[in-house]
Amino acid sequence: MNITFLGGGNMASALIGGLLERGFAAAGIQVIELGAEGRERLTARFGVRAVAAADATALACDALVLAVKPQQMKAALAPLAGRLSNQLVISIAAGLRLADLGRWLGAPGAPYTRLVRCMPNTPALIGAGVTGLYADPSVDAAGRAAAGRILAAVGSTVWTDDEEQMDAVTAISGSGPAYVFHFIEALEAAGRALGFDEAGARRLAIDTVLGAARLAAGSEDAPAVLRQNVTSKGGTTEAALASLAAAGWHDELVTAVHAAAARGRALGAELGRD
Ligand SMILES: NC(=O)C1=CN([C@@H]2O[C@H](COP(=O)(O)OP(=O)(O)OC[C@H]3O[C@@H](n4cnc5c(N)ncnc54)[C@H](OP(=O)(O)O)[C@@H]3O)[C@@H](O)[C@H]2O)C=CC1
Ligand SMILES: O=C(O)[C@@H]1CCC=N1
């Protein structure tokens, strides 16, 4: 499979690194990247062909991965409009709907429909991402399998057959690493306040999150059961959880995820208007 990336920033680099590690050949990967520095970095790091604009060689691919910022997408797709034959187009952009991407990519009156919308996350950088995927109903099983293979190179995959759920995926797992990093920051700050130096507090915080996530991933017990296993009657955890409950922490996090999903929907509506 030959893959071309439109945009060669953070997420494209994560995906390319994962694909190469999984045995995809560098010769089968190209990147269309505006920045000269970015192009040099991509070629030096991955040995892939990087070009400033979509030439015929870049478009002679099986899959085109759209990896520019949502706000950059319409302008980035303009030079491609009406030039695609049957390439599978995979967007990783937050918010943007397939109908709008298809309109921007197609010829007048003939929207492009061989489209898959995905939402990976930054742990993809170390092959530990999770990606939600939604395919236009016209995409055949081979197209879905190809998209799944590309994203599986950087972690696990979860399909949905409802495009609206992609805003939920974005809010839960796309943005999710930021919530976890924020949690680590708070645990580290607490460690500092309780007398540890930065390195010690950070080690305790990060390894706690890492260990708990690995335990949850490998356990048949639900996270609530694992939490109860830590919580001794009349003990320290119970005191902390009571304090979190009084602060409404659980509900606040649910509200925050709703805010992210709403922002994804609004972004799609705003950017898709024209
Ligand atoms: N960051 C995250 O956690 C996640 C991001 N995403 C999505 O991934 C996409 C990419 O995000 P990210 O990698 O963080 O962004 P980056 O800004 O790191 O990468 C985008 C790249 O595209 C380049 N670019 C801009 N316009 C064009 C163009 N017309 N033609 C070619 N290249 C262009 C940019 O160059 P320049 O810098 O010069 O503008 C930049 O190098 C976004 O749509 C985002 O919603 C998805 C999941 C998680
Ligand atoms: O914050 C954002 O909009 C992007 C999408 C998911 C993670 N980062």
Please report the domains of the chain, with CATH numbers, ordered by start residue: 3-163 (3.40.50.720), 176-263 (1.10.3730.10)
Q: Alpha-carbon dihedral of residues 141, 144, 146, 151, nearest 10 degrees?
A: -150
Can you give the pLDDT at residue 125?
A: 86
170 in ligand 2 pocket by Cβ < 6 Å? yes
- Both tokens of 272, joined, read 């898709």
**Banded model confidence at residue 107, pLDDT cuts 50, 70, 90:** confident
- Full-model pTM: 0.94
Does residue 22 surpass a pLDDT of 90? no
Q: What is the DSSP letter of 22?
A: T
Q: What is the mean pLDDT of residues 188-202?
A: 98
How far is residue 256's CA from residue 254's CA, in Å, rounded to a whole number?
A: 5
Atom of ligand 2 nearest to the CA of 122: 7
Query: 41 C-alpha vs ligand 1 centroid, how far in Å?
Result: 15
Question: Is the ipTM value over 0.90, yes or no?
Answer: yes
Tell me: is residue 166 an annotated ligand-binding position.
no
Q: Rounded to a whole number, what is the largest CA-CA distance in the chain? A: 69
Answer for the pair 15, 124: CB distance below 8 angstroms, yes or no: yes
133 is in an annotated binding site: no
Asked if residue 72 has its Cβ within 6 Å of ligand 1, the reply is yes
168 lines ligand 2 (CB under 6 A): no
Q: Indicate whether residue 174 lines ligand 2 (CB < 6 A).
A: yes
Residue 175, ligand 2, Cβ within 6 A:
yes
pLDDT of residue 108: 85
To test the ligand 1 pocket, which listed residue (5, 6, 10) has its Cβ within 8 A of the most ligand atoms?
Answer: 10
> Among 170, 172, 180, which residue has the most ligand 2 atoms within 8 Å of its CB, making it the best to mutate?
170
pLDDT tens, residue by residue, 48-94:
999 999 999 999 999 999 999 999 999 999 999 999 999 999 999 99
